[in-house]
Amino acid sequence: MVCGALILQQPTPGRFFAGTSGYSYPTWKPDFYPKSVPTTKFLEYYSSRLNLVEVNYTFRQLAKASTFEKWIACTPADFVFAPKAHNKITHILRLTNAEEFTRVFLESLEPLRLANKLGPILFQLPPGLKCDVERLKNFARSLPSHYRYTFEFRNESWFAEPVFAALREANAGLCLAESEERETPEVITADFVYYRLRKPEYSEAEVDQLSSAISKHRERGMDAYALFKHEDTPAGAFCAERLLRGQSVQVTP
C-alpha cells in the first residue's frame, strides 16, 4: 500500500491596506485631488485611490455616530479606518485607571466595526512615558478581544523583550514606526503588522524594499497596514499607491 504524500496547506495570503494620516488637505490639489473636487468630496475621492486612512480626529474628541455613518456611506465596502486612541487614555491617564473611558471610546467606534470598516486602533504613548511593563499588561488585559490594537512607543526604553511578550500575550501589535528621531525594531507581536512611516521623504527604492517585507508577512497569512505621513504635498499618498500596486491590490472605486 502506497501512502499519499502529505500536502501542507498554505495559509491564505493576508490582506493589505495603505494610506495616509488624514486626507483633508486642500494643498493636495491639483496633484492628487482634481481641481473640480470640492473639500466635501475629498474622502469619497481619496477612497477611490487608497483603501486606508488614519483618523487623528479621534485623538481629541469622541466622534458622533452620525459622523462615522457619513464616512461609511461615501467609502467602498473594503475601505478601512484606523483610529488613533483618545489622548485622555494615552496622555492624561497614561493607561492607568483608564478602563471606563476606554470602554466609552471603543463604544464610539462601533459604527465602524459593525460596518467592517474598523482597522487597528493606535495607542500612541507620549515620549516622556518610560517603560512600565505591568502598566501595559494591566491595560492590555482590560481590552476587548474583538478589536485590533497597536501600540506606538516613543521612548526607547519600551523596546525590550518583556514588552514584546506582553504584546504577544494580548495579540496587540508593536507599531512599526519610523521617523527622523527613532526607528522601532521590526518585531512582530500580533497576527497583523502596522507600519507608521513618518520620514519626510521615501525613495521608490525604499518603498519597494518595504513592499518586499510586506509580501513576506502576507505570505504567512498576516494582514498588513501601512500609513504614510501627510505633508503639504501628496507625496505620502503616492507612496501608498506605489505600495498597493506592488502588492497587486486593486482599490474599489
Residue pLDDT, tens place only, 113-133:
999 999 999 999 999 999 999
Inter-residue contact 86 to 126 (CB < 8 Å): no
Task: Name the amino acid, one letter, at 92.
Answer: I
pLDDT band at 112 (very low <50, low <70, confident <90, very high): very high
Residue-level pLDDT at 46: 98
Inter-residue contact 19 to 54 (CB < 8 Å): yes
Fold entry, domain 16-246: TIM Barrel (3.20.20)
Task: Name the amino acid, one letter, at 21.
Answer: S
Residue-level pLDDT at 180: 84
What percent of the chain has pLDDT above 90? 91
Collapsing DSSP to helix, strand or coil, 59 comes out as helix
Residue-level pLDDT at 7: 55
Domain ranges of the chain: 16-246
**What is the average per-residue pLDDT within 33-56?**
97
Residue pLDDT, tens place only, 3-35:
445 555 678 999 999 999 999 999 999 999 999
Distances, alpha carbon 125 to alpha carbons 14, 85, 87, 152, in Å? 28, 10, 9, 6
Residue pLDDT, tens place only, 64-88:
999 999 999 999 999 999 999 999 9
